[in-house]
Structure 1
Amino acid sequence: MDRLLTGLQPSGALTIGNYCGGISQIVNYQDKYETFLFVPDMHAITVPQDPEALHRNIINAIAMYIACGVNPDLPNMHIYIQSENLYHANLSWIFECHTPHGDLTRMHQFKAKSAKNEAFTEGLVTYPDLMAADILLYDAKYVPTGIDQKQHVELARNLADRFNNRYGELFVVPEPLIPVIGAKIRDLQNPEQKMSKSTDNPKASVFLSDDEKVIRKKIMSAVTDSDGKIVFDEENKPGVSNLLTIYSAFSGCTIEDSVAKFEGGGYGDLKKAVAEVLVEKLTAFQDKYNKILESGTIDEILDAGRDYSIKIAAEKYEQVRRAVGFGRV
């Protein structure tokens, strides 16, 4: 069985963009692949975090994954916390010593985040090397990812090729899995930008934890345009296209079917339909989420995932350690 790996940062409440770009893909593929689903808390501290909030967010993220359909009872599903497996950091250091600095600083996410904060840390620079370690430790063939993270997967592919050429066949070269619909859900107030967990605008993002009233208010206030025509054109009509994408992702329709459904109608009709499908889905997620937190089963799930991830990672790291000349033979 081929392996699939993905993670979502515990840096705040999860958005519908996180669901479409990551969680839904795990649910769709979990019966087909051996799945490694982890909470990358080491990545989270590349920007300042409140420790108590980070602890909570880790557990809450796991509960929400499961509420959204991830099945922890599958024998091929392994859920764990990144920092509980030290091989991630060990392999990341080796990758840092094999990655030109320019390869890291030209990453789109680094440029965007560093532009906002002149006093960024080195962890923000080397973030892609740690992400490569997350992937390559497990010989993951597939990595579900949004468009914004595709460049980081490409770096992991390049590192795998570089090591395989220099040291022999050590790593599986991973392939990104980008969803056909919902790869990039956009900001509701500024559809030129990606929807973000860390937005300062309370109307910009729909969170999986939002209640019915908040969901409807955010969608009804979403920015569109003055054209009045419902067509899918991300370049010229990003706001309307974003609403069509959200509707399609949560209703199961294709973009073409969604356009046909609302063609000739007004933006208000489209917004009401988007709000309705979101309320139906997110309310169900929230009910399951609360039951999972109350069940007290998350620690047991994480313990099993940690132990298995360490077993697999230790075997791969030992191969790499010997290949690069570390320690005793």
Structure 2
Amino acid sequence: MHLGNYLGAVKNWVNMQEYPDTERYYCVVDLHSLTTNYVSDKDSKDQIESQEQTLKTAANLIACGVDPKKSNLFIQSHVPAHSELSWILMCMTPMSWLNSMIQYKEKRKKEDSTSVALLNYPCLMAADIILYQPSMVPVGDDQRQHLELTKLLIQRINALSGLELRVPDVIKSEHQRVMSLKNASNKMSKSDRSIRSRISLIDDPEMIKEKIRRAKTDSLGSITYDPNRKELYNLLNIYASVKDIPASNLEDYLADDNMFSFKMKLADGLIDKICPIGERYQALLQEEDRLLEILEQGAKGANLKADKTLATIRKGLKMLPRDM
């Protein structure tokens, strides 16, 4: 996981744990991770999501602050209802809806070949949401179109079945999208070939300092919060998020800084925020049995909720019940 994952999503999840009288379900999306891994026989085996990587993602989430005592944390494929509801939703989804998804069109341009799963990805994401009947869903800007599709599918299920499944509200991330340190026209991503384009949640202090020192900026010496200076704008937004400073106050806060001194402040702020996460993560990896127990308990809670919702949908669609 990288800084963009943390600021764009996980930090929000952690904050939501303080909401009173709410249930929370967070999953490690191992099914989603398979989307493009098997599209060609020539694909490298190391592209395939391993058991080890799934556990590492779970450990990262807990290290970031997802508390198993407050939230159900589980592996997506350990709740079979996700796959079944995804198929039902695919049967309700016109091709035109999926072909219009911006992420699909962008990824299709970049790939020599794409899988059916890439096209149907939003249906599985919709199932991930619908099964838990949430009142609120935290999403980043890049997932808003997928959530709109989810709302359309809920309305379609309700129209076909007479059910009244809940249409969730959106909780937008408070933070600007985190962009690449090498090219602020692209979002920070683990798929970028350059490790210097992103801050990993397990980077050590020296690596963080080096990446920020070499992060792309412009030749102007002043610090201004200007979207037209997109590389600096990205770094300033990261700084505001890490230090919990309103972006509107940044220029006053950094009035005496030049580019170098600002970058050093940013690096120090990231080290204070990221390195404790990395330390907790490494400790959790040494307790695999505990990690597996957390995920098993999370899956039990998730299966109870998901199976109940799926049974309601199956009944509404006049499907023969399993427990006859």
Asked if these proteins are the same fold (TM beyond 0.5), I'd say yes
The whole-number CA distance in structure 2 between the counterparts of 1:325 and 1:188 is: 52
Specify which of 311, 318, 328 is matched with residue 311 of structure 2.
318
Is 1:19 the counterpart of 2:13 in the alignment? no
Structure 2-normalised TM-score? Answer: 0.92
Confirm or deny: 8 A CA contact 2:30 2:49 kept in the other structure: no
Confirm or deny: 8 A CA contact 1:243 1:270 kept in the other structure: no
Q: What code does the residue aligned with 1:58 have? A: T
Is 1:54 the counterpart of 2:50 in the alignment? yes
The whole-number CA distance in structure 1 between the counterparts of 2:126 and 2:72 is: 19
Distance 1:67 1:177, change over 3 A: same
Confirm or deny: 8 A CA contact 1:170 1:320 kept in the other structure: no
CA deviation string 1:65-92 (max 9, x = no partner): 1111111122xx1011010111101101
| Secondary structure of the corresponding residue to residue 126 of structure 1 | helix
Confirm or deny: 8 A CA contact 2:225 2:250 kept in the other structure: no
Partner of 2:119: 125
Is 1:260 the counterpart of 2:259 in the alignment? no
Q: How does 1:164-175 map to 2 (within 5 A)?
A: 164-175=158-169
The whole-number CA distance in structure 1 between the counterparts of 2:189 and 2:48 is: 21
List gaps (5 residues or longer) in structure 1.
1-13
Structure 1-normalised TM-score? Answer: 0.91
Specify which of 233, 236, 251 is matched with residue 226 of structure 2.
233
Partner of 1:108: 102
Distance 1:323 1:169, change over 3 A: closer
Q: How does 1:242-261 map to 2 (within 5 A)?
A: 242-261=234-253
Is 1:285 the counterpart of 2:281 in the alignment? no
Partner of 2:42: none
* More contact order relative to length (CA 8 Å, sep ≥ 6): 2
Q: Return 49-58 or 211-220, whichever deviates more.
A: 49-58
User: Aligned residues, how many?
Assistant: 312
The whole-number CA distance in structure 2 between the counterparts of 1:53 and 1:157 is: 29
The whole-number CA distance in structure 2 between the counterparts of 1:206 and 1:51 is: 20
The whole-number CA distance in structure 2 between the counterparts of 1:245 and 1:199 is: 21
* CA positional deviation for 1:30: 0.7
CA deviation string 1:217-272 (max 9, x = no partner): 111111111233322222x1111111111111111111122222113521112111
Partner of 1:202: 195
Confirm or deny: 8 A CA contact 1:170 1:319 kept in the other structure: no
Confirm or deny: 8 A CA contact 2:163 2:316 kept in the other structure: no
List gaps (5 residues or longer) in structure 2.
38-44
Specify which of 69, 73, 91 is matched with residue 73 of structure 1.
69
Confirm or deny: 8 A CA contact 1:21 1:178 kept in the other structure: no
